[in-house]
Amino acid sequence: QQQVKQSPQSLIVQKGGISIINCAYENTAFDYFPWYQQFPGKGPALLIAIRPDVSEKKEGRFTISFNKSAKQFSLHIMDSQPGDSATYFCAASTNTGNQFYFGTGTSLTVIP
Amino acid sequence: ETGVTQSPTHLIKTRGQQVTLRCSSQSGHNTVSWYQQALGQGPQFIFQYYREEENGRGNFPPRFSGLQFPNYSSELNVNALELDDSALYLCASSLVQVETDTQYFGPGTRLTVL
């Protein structure tokens, strides 16, 4: 059973546009929600992370929106650039921290 | 770059063989987690080691085993390889303190089982 459900599977955005990727979870014990970016042949790299005590976190062009009551969180990439073309994974973990549950990934393509 | 290194980069084995993958943690990190990432999928948790002891295990059979050494480097061993074991194997290091801390991933080892 997929603990974290991610959508869409793929996304095509024009340069300068906003990319939005959504994730949903069921386990209310999750208390840490990171987003990772992965380029072909590389390991996932941490982009930004949030804890459920805040509803939004922004770092540069990347923003996480978190809705605790709906058990949903999303990644917004503002002013999307061709260099942002990669696969993005959401993840979740409980406070024991010993297992990250990953979504199935979103392949983002930013068209120049 | 995260400072997490893995070796080898690529590996080809045949069904039934055994394989050992290695991981060197980021400096100062005391915890290593191993993940399996099949093509087109998200990473799946195999197990975690904290202070040389297994600290959690995912839904993987006992033929997947591991070690953590005093310098916090780690090995993943897989016995009796099966075709479905073909995947990218990722290790991630973290510093376990009071609450969950993020995991920093290495570049992975691409294992192909023929």
Per-residue pLDDT of chain A (112 residues; tens, 9 = 90+): 679 999 999 999 999 999 999 999 999 999 999 999 999 888 999 999 999 899 999 999 999 999 999 999 999 999 999 999 999 999 999 877 678 999 999 999 999 9
Q: Which of A28, A30, A5, A6 lies closest to A87 in space, CA to CA? A: A6
Overall average pLDDT of the B57-74 stretch: 93
Q: Which of B23, B25, B96, B2 lies closest to B55 in space, CA to CA? A: B96
Residues on chain B touching A97 (C-beta within 8 angstroms): 94, 96, 99-101
Residues on chain A touching B31 (C-beta within 8 angstroms): 98
Query: With an 8 Å Cβ cutoff, is B39 touching chain A?
Result: no
Query: With an 8 Å Cβ cutoff, is B60 touching chain A?
Result: no
With a cut of 90, say whether residue B26 has pLDDT above it. Answer: no
